[in-house]
Chains A and B, each alone.
Chain A
């Protein structure tokens, strides 16, 4: 058979399978991310249906998926929201980092994986999935709740922390010296600051350049700009993902809204490819030995996120039930954690890191929304002491 024919057959098979899985997830009311990961495991080495020909194409598709994930995430925020969130929630944000990065880092150190893997695992256990959490909030009608601004600000804080963390991790994974690492972190921080300032002061000019009444032109300009900046960022060792995130931040208002609507279908396609690719790279036979550890890590992470949510909500004057909801909403892990693990795996971190991260995300992406749904009726039952 012709090569192209095989690539089409494989890609068609994967995408169709993802569509069916997505439909199943929708019916069950859970996130599709764990199912996509499982699909990747099934298609990959040691899986049920190993693919060969289309792996290169899928790899590039996965890279584009990461860029699009972060671009659309950046489009959701504008610079002033980021700055005000940073000012108002620094303390809760720091508690979030300390409590939730610690389990991953400690686990990696106890396993003797070394400091670089510890930094990667810290990121894997730290970041909440803003995508899944936003969906949980809207599905359960929690958007109007008074603890929701607290949860959203924490998500914004995490995303900003990622903008600093990803370049740091990239530099460490590249095995550069302390000096070079410090320089590339400096470049990253400098870039983030410059972009924030440009977005705050001169956002209008970028918007005037990108803006177009024609959807096709707008889509091409935004996507082109994001990929270009992602490429430059990658070249500077800042990580392509952060570059795309910053492009998203710089665009705001009506333009960002339109661009997001145009990019959503593309993002959904390539993000799904990205999850499959991560699954492909993970050998399913490596999972059973780390399953127990992943479960333990997930349990600890649930508790630390509950504590984080409770602390942040209490500071905002929210009562007990709301504090609980804030914590539960922060439990899901997903795209970011896989992005981080993906970087680590690609750079050749400890071979168990990939399977551990995959299992961990599988558990929390599935359990987080489910827990929120289960907890809802318990929390809304009127207390017996009420008049």
Chain B
């Protein structure tokens, strides 16, 4: 896929690409931080038939909606590529000792050697959570390690290990 970048003097930048079905899509990044999602007309490919204005928050939400399933997919692809590497998704169940406590409290990396790479909460993916990230019941923790270490993490998250 080829993304074409055009500068719009005085306004900002435009990134544009064609989908495999032949539609052209673009994002105009205004200097003010505003983002326009542009969809081009089929019969007049120079014309933006739809220009949707997004503020920071809306643009972030759209990115997460489009990006969340992709992170899990990429992780799965990663561990099938590297032998012995496993990524698993562990839910924080109600009653887990870490419901309401932070990632730092679990000391997962020190105790097992495995890494927490993301926490999925509802539609939102927190990639690379920091030690002060606080779990709540219902979170899904994405852990990368080998067979043994990921199993140890599962034990820690369910009964404190």
Q: Give chain A's interface residues, CB within 8 Å of chain B.
A: 76-77, 81-82, 84-85, 130, 134, 141-149, 152-153, 155-156, 257, 318-319, 321-322, 325, 379-380, 382-383, 386
Determine whether the beta carbon of B44 is less than 8 Å from that of A143. Answer: no
Choose from B9, B10, B48 the contact partner of A145 (Cβ within 8 Å). B48
Known contacts A152-B11, A155-B10; 19 further A-B pairs (Cβ under 8 A):
A81-B10, A82-B9, A84-B7, A142-B48, A144-B14, A144-B26, A144-B28, A144-B48, A144-B51, A145-B48, A146-B40, A147-B46, A149-B8, A149-B9, A152-B9, A156-B9, A156-B10, A321-B46, A380-B44
Residues of A close to B44: CB separation below 8 A: 319, 321-322, 379-380
Contact check, B8 vs A380: say whether CB atoms are below 8 A apart: no
Most buried by A among B43, B45, B49: B43
B8 touches A145 (CB 8 A): no
With an 8 A cutoff between CB atoms, is B73 at the interface?
Answer: no
In the complex, residue of chain B having the shortest beta-carbon distance to the beta carbon of A256? B31
B107 at the interface (CB under 8 A from A): no
A134 contacts B10, CB within 8 Å? Answer: yes
Chain B residues near A134: list those with CB within 8 A. 10-11
Is the pair A386, B43 in contact by a Cβ cutoff of 8 Å?
yes
Chain A residues within an 8 Å CB radius of B21: none
A-B pairs with beta carbons under 8 Å apart, 13 shown: A84-B7, A134-B11, A141-B51, A144-B26, A144-B38, A145-B46, A146-B40, A146-B45, A152-B10, A156-B9, A257-B31, A321-B44, A322-B44
Taking a contact as CB atoms under 8 Å apart, the answer to whether B48 and A149 are in contact is: no
In the bound assembly, the distance between CA atoms of A257 and B6 in angstroms comes to: 20
Of B31, B36, B40, B45, which one neighbours A143 at CB under 8 angstroms?
B36
Q: Which residues of B contact A144 (CB under 8 A)?
A: 14, 26, 28, 36, 38, 40, 48, 51
The distance from the CB of A154 to the nearest CB of chain B, in whole angstroms, is 10
Are A148 and B8 touching (Cβ within 8 A)?
Answer: yes
Which A residues are in CB contact (< 8 Å) with B11?
Answer: 134, 143, 152
B109 within 8 A of A: no
A68 CA to B24 CA, complexed, in Å: 39
> For residue B7, which residues in chain A have a CB less than 8 angstroms away from its CB?
81, 84, 149
Q: Is the CB–CB distance between A152 and B8 below 8 Å?
A: yes
Check A143/B8 contact, CB under 8 A, given A257-B31, A257-B32, A380-B41. yes
B32 A85 Cβ-Cβ under 8 A:
no
- The number of chain B residues touching the other chain, given as a range, is 20 to 34
Cβ–Cβ contact A145 & B6, under 8 A: no
Which chain A residues lie closer than 8 Å to B14 at the CB level?
Answer: 144, 149
Once bound together, how far apart are the Cα atoms of A321 and B49, in whole Å?
Answer: 13
Closest residue on chain A to residue B38 by CB atoms? A144
Distance from A316 Cβ to chain B, minimum over Cβ atoms (Å)? 9
Interface mask (B1-17 → A, CB under 8 Å = 1, otherwise 0) = 00000111111001000
Complex interface: chain B residues within 8 A of A380 (CB):
41, 44, 47, 49
C-alpha gap A130/B9 in the complex (Å): 11
Q: Contact at A145–B32, with CB atoms within 8 Å?
A: no
**Do A81 and B46 contact each other (CB < 8 Å), given the known contacts A144-B14, A144-B36, A380-B41?**
no
Contact B46 A318 (CB under 8 A): yes
- A134 CA to B31 CA, complexed, in Å: 14
CA distance A134 to B30 in the complex (A): 13
Question: Which residue of chain B lies nearest to A148 when distances are taken between CB atoms in the complex?
Answer: B8
CB-based contact B48/A383 at 8 Å: no
Give A76 to B7 CA distance when docked, in angstroms: 13
Find the residue from B44, B46, B51 having the highest chain A CB count within 10 A. B46
Residues on A with beta carbons closer than 8 Å to the beta carbon of B38: 144
Contact A143 B9 (CB under 8 A): no
Residues B47 and A322 in contact, CB atoms below 8 Å apart: yes
- Nearest Cβ in chain B — how far from A256, in angstroms? 9
Binary interface encoding of chain B residues 40-83 relative to chain A, with 1 for a CB under 8 A from any of its CBs, else 0:
11011111110100000000000000000000000000000000
Report the separation of the CA atoms of residues A279 and B60 in the bound assembly, to the nearest whole angstrom: 48
With A77-B10, A85-B9 known as contacts, the answer to whether A145 contacts B47 (CB < 8 A) is yes
Interfacial chain B residues near A143, Cβ < 8 Å: 8, 11, 28, 36, 48, 51
Contacts of B51 in A (CB 8 A): 141, 143-144
Instruction: State how many angstroms separate the Cβ of B52 from the closest Cβ of chain A.
Output: 10
CA distance A153 to B10 in the complex (A): 10
Contact A382 B43 (CB under 8 A): yes
